[in-house]
Amino acid sequence: MLESLGGVGSLTGTPWIYAVVALSVVLDVFLPVLPSGVLIVTAATAAAAGTGAATGHVPHGVPGVLALTLCAATASVLGDLVAYRLAWRGGERLDRAISRSRRLSTAQKRLGAALSRGGGALVVLARFAPAGRSVVSFGAGAAHHRVRDFLPWSALAGLSWATYSVALGYFGTQWLGASWLATAVSVGALFAAGSGAAFLMRRTPQPAEAPQPATAA
């Protein structure tokens, strides 16, 4: 574990760490199995370890941590928009695929109801849930929701998720030191947030179905 932290830490002082993080975050909207969150936590842990945060010294490397947060947040929004545009242009084939999936259909209805009320907390919540970002981004595009309704919430979701992930790695190292325990606790908290978000999404009330017109006897 410490050797892997050292390997990531060697990248924190170069532009490569930002390129790797950005690519991972953009692609995990299409491949939710990519461990982009774990990568960010590990990079933040290595960056914090290199600043002397664990020993109480002034964290001279904070600008690097802020850059990591902005990089992850920007990549998150970019990935959302790519998925949104692809789904927008997907046409009837994508609509049929969504209609065959109860999970996708339900998520699309919930998202539409949330955006129509002028609130997109569901977009922010979904960013933390496993595969939630994919469902929301593709669902918003397939339903042709306006980008001006979706984009601000996507930006807030990306920034919230990136800030939380980086903070876990940074403060975990500050409190527990540069050790496998700090990384394990931080990654555990990341997965706990994902599980909690998934639970809350399941608890979100479904929009009421439109009443069917009565048929003549």
Record the tokens describing residue 121, joined without a space.
């907390």
Q: How far apart are CA 107 and CA 179, in angstroms?
A: 39
Q: Where does the pLDDT of residue 115 fall: very low under 50, low under 70, confident under 90, or very high at 90 and above?
A: low
**Residue-level pLDDT at 133:** 86
Highest mean pLDDT among 10-19, 47-56, 192-201: 192-201
72-94 pLDDT, tens digit each: 999 999 999 999 998 888 756 66
Chain mean pLDDT for the chain:
75
pTM reported for the whole predicted model: 0.76
Q: Residue 211 pLDDT > 70, yes or no?
A: no
- Asked if 47 contacts 12 with a C-beta cutoff of 8 angstroms, the reply is yes
Taking a C-beta distance cutoff of 8 angstroms, is the pair 45, 170 a contact?
A: yes
> What whole-number distance in Å separates Cα of residue 215 and Cα of residue 217?
6
